[in-house]
Structure 1
Amino acid sequence: MPDCEPLIYLFVPGNRPERFTKALASGADRIIIDLEDAVAPECKAAARTAIGEWMADSDAPRERVLIRINDAATPWHADDLTLVSTVRALCVMLPKCETPNQVAAVLACLPKDATVLPLIETARGVVALHEIAAAPGVTRLAFGSLDYMADLDIPAGSLALQFAAAQIAIASRAAGIGSPVAGVTPDLDATRVATDMANARTLGFGAKMCIHPSQVAAARTALAPSAQELAWAQRVLQAWNTSAGDAIQVDGKMVDRPIVLKAERIVAQAARTN
C-alpha cells in the first residue's frame, strides 16, 4: 500500500482562476480545480478557458493540481476531456464513477503515467468497487458522501453510509492502493471537520477533501495520531527493537509483529502530519 499519498485535497471553483494559486498556498497537499458542482452550467465553458490559460501560463507545481471533470452522463463531459488532454493533466477526478471502462476512457486522454481519482457516489459505484479499485491508473478512491446520500435517499449518519465507506476502504486495501479520501464536510466549523475526519479514520480513510481553506488545518490535525497513540507506538518500537526477537509486553499486553506494524504506521503518520 502506498504510504506517501496526499492527506488533504482542497476544491477551488474552475471559474475563479484568481483563487488557484491561493489554494496552492493553503496548506493542502493537492488542489482540485472543479468543473462540476462548483461551476454553474452557464459558466462551464468560461471555466475551461480559465483553467487552460492558467495551466499554460502558471509555473505552479502541476503534480499538485487535479481537475474534477463532469461525469460521463453530462453534456459537458466530452469538452472536459478535450481540456484535460490539451493541458496534459497529471490527475483527473472522475465523479459518479461506476465502471472501470469510465476510468479507461479518461486515462486514454491523459499523458503516460497520469492517474484518475474515481469518486464513488452511487450505489452502482459501490457495487463495482473492486473492479474500479483494480483499474489501471487508479492509485486511490474518493467517497462522494453527499451525492451518495442523495442517491440512496439516506440521512447523514446512516448505517448505510458507513457501510459504503467501509466497503470503499476494504476494496482499496484489497487492490493494494492508497487509503481512500473522505468526503467533504459542508460545515466550516473546525470541530465538525475534525470530527468527520476522525470518524472516517475509524472506517479506514486516510485523507480528506475540503471545500474551504479554513478546513485544511482541522482536517490535517484530525489525521494525525493523538499524543497518547504516538507515545504508545514509540514504547512498542523501543521495546521491540531491544528484544532481539523475543516475546515482549508493553503496558501489560503482549506484542507481536502485527502490533509492531501498527506502531510503525502511527509513527510514520505522525511524521507526515507535522
Structure 2
Amino acid sequence: MTIAARSILFVPGDRPERFDKARASGADLVVIDLEDAVLPDRKAAARDTIHDTLADLTEPRFVVRINSLDTEWHADDVRALAGLPGVSGLMLPKAERASDFAAMHEAATGKPLHALVETVSAVFALADLVTAPGLARLSFGTVDFQADAGIDGDGAEIDHVRTMIVLHSRNAGLAAPVDGVSTDLSDDAALARDADHARRFGFGGKLCVHPRQVQVVNTAFLPSDVDVQWATRVMAAIDGGFGAVALDGKLIDKPVVDRARRLLGAHAAYQSA
C-alpha cells in the first residue's frame, strides 16, 4: 500500500541551515518555502541558495514551494529549480486552474506537483484544477482562503470546502488531500483535535509550520489501536467470505470490510515505513 505524507513541514527558503534539521524532525515531507517565508527583496538570493544546496544532492529530498503564477519570480523559480536532483516535486500556491501547471509539468520531468487551494476561485474550479498534468495532491491553504473569502474561522465555517476538496481529490484519483496549518504553536491538544478533525473529513495529512507539530500530526493520522483491533476482528469474522455475518450486533457488508482492509493496510504501511 502506498502511503501519503501525513506531516508536511515548511522551512524558510533563505535558511539552508534548517533544511536537514527539518528532515530530521520526523516530518514525512519537507517543503522548502520560497513564497510566504521569504521577503520580496530576498527571493532571488533564496532561490540561488536553494539551487546551490539541492544541486549537490544525488537523490530527491525536498519539495519546493515556488512563488505563484502571477508574480515576477515564478518563471525563474521553475526554470532554476524544477530539474534539480534534490527536488522531489514542486508546490504551487494560489493554484486555480489546470493550465497553471503546464510549464511546471514540462520542466519538472515527471516529478509530482502539489497545488495549494487558497482562493474562492480555486474552490469553484476544483473540477478543472484536479485534471492538471502531473498533479499528485491538493493542500488546503486555510489562512489565505479565509482572507480571500471574508470568512472568520477555520472550523465549521470552512468544513464545506474541506468536503469539496476531499471529494474532488477522490474523484480524480489523487492522494487524500492535506489540511491547512494550525497557527497556535503552544497548544498541542488543540493541534491534535484539528488533525483528528481533518482526518475524519477525509484528509490524509496536515501542513506544519514548526517541527514541534510534526509528531502530534503524525500520530493523529495513524489508525488508532481501537481501529486496528476493530478491523482485525472484522477480517476474522468474515474469514475470507461474506454471508450473513454480524459483529457487535452490526451487519458486516462490503463497505465495512473495505474500510477494515484500508485501516489494516495503512497500519502495516506506516509500521514498515
SS state at 1:82 partner = helix
- Alpha-carbon offset, residue 273 of structure 1: 4.0
Corresponding position of 2:230: 232
2:22 is equivalent to residue 23 of structure 1: yes
Residues 198-231 of structure 1: per-residue CA shift (max 9 Å, x gap): 1111211011111111100000111112222221
Are the counterparts in 2 of residues 223 and 273 from structure 1 also a CA contact under 8 Å?
Answer: no
2:79 is equivalent to residue 82 of structure 1: yes
Corresponding position of 2:36: 37
2:264 is equivalent to residue 253 of structure 1: no
Are the counterparts in 2 of residues 71 and 95 from structure 1 also a CA contact under 8 Å?
Answer: yes
Are the counterparts in 1 of residues 176 and 202 from structure 2 also a CA contact under 8 Å?
Answer: yes
Corresponding position of 2:9: 10
Structure 2: how far apart are the matches of 1:55 and 1:3?
Answer: 26
- Under a length normalisation based on structure 1, what TM-score does the superposition of the two structures give? 0.93
Are the counterparts in 1 of residues 2 and 269 from structure 2 also a CA contact under 8 Å?
Answer: no
Are the counterparts in 1 of residues 96 and 125 from structure 2 also a CA contact under 8 Å?
Answer: yes
- Alpha-carbon offset, residue 72 of structure 1: 0.8
Structure 1: how far apart are the matches of 2:19 and 2:81?
Answer: 16
Q: Percent identity?
A: 41
Corresponding position of 1:109: 107
Aligned pair partner of 1:119 in 102, 116, 121: 116
SS state at 2:67 partner = coil
- What letter is aligned with 2:191? V
Are the counterparts in 1 of residues 65 and 90 from structure 2 also a CA contact under 8 Å?
Answer: yes
Indicate the RMSD between aligned Cα atoms, in angstroms: 1.6
Q: How many pairs does the alignment contain?
A: 269
Corresponding position of 1:175: 172
Structure 1: how far apart are the matches of 2:88 and 2:211?
Answer: 23
Structure 2: how far apart are the matches of 1:137 and 1:43?
Answer: 29
- Alpha-carbon offset, residue 86 of structure 1: 4.9
Q: Which range moved further: 32-41 or 126-135?
A: 126-135
SS state at 1:140 partner = strand
Structure 2: how far apart are the matches of 1:6 and 1:193?
Answer: 17
Are the counterparts in 1 of residues 82 and 104 from structure 2 also a CA contact under 8 Å?
Answer: no
Are the counterparts in 2 of residues 3 and 178 from structure 1 also a CA contact under 8 Å?
Answer: no
Structure 2: how far apart are the matches of 1:87 and 1:32?
Answer: 15
Q: 1:86 to 1:34 in 2, by over 3 A?
A: same
1:170-249 to structure 2, matched below 5 A, reads 170-188=167-185, 189-241=187-239, 244-249=241-246
- Alpha-carbon offset, residue 87 of structure 1: 2.1
Structure 1: how far apart are the matches of 2:174 and 2:225?
Answer: 28
2:150 is equivalent to residue 153 of structure 1: yes
Are the counterparts in 1 of residues 169 and 177 from structure 2 also a CA contact under 8 Å?
Answer: yes
Are the counterparts in 2 of residues 34 and 67 from structure 1 also a CA contact under 8 Å?
Answer: yes
- What letter is aligned with 2:228? L
Are the counterparts in 2 of residues 140 and 178 from structure 1 also a CA contact under 8 Å?
Answer: yes
SS state at 2:136 partner = coil
- What letter is aligned with 1:100? A
Aligned pair partner of 1:71 in 68, 73, 77: 68
Q: Which runs of 5+ in 2 are unaligned?
A: none
SS state at 1:114 partner = coil
Corresponding position of 1:58: 57
- Under a length normalisation based on structure 2, what TM-score does the superposition of the two structures give? 0.93
Corresponding position of 1:95: 93
- Alpha-carbon offset, residue 160 of structure 1: 4.3
- Alpha-carbon offset, residue 85 of structure 1: 3.4
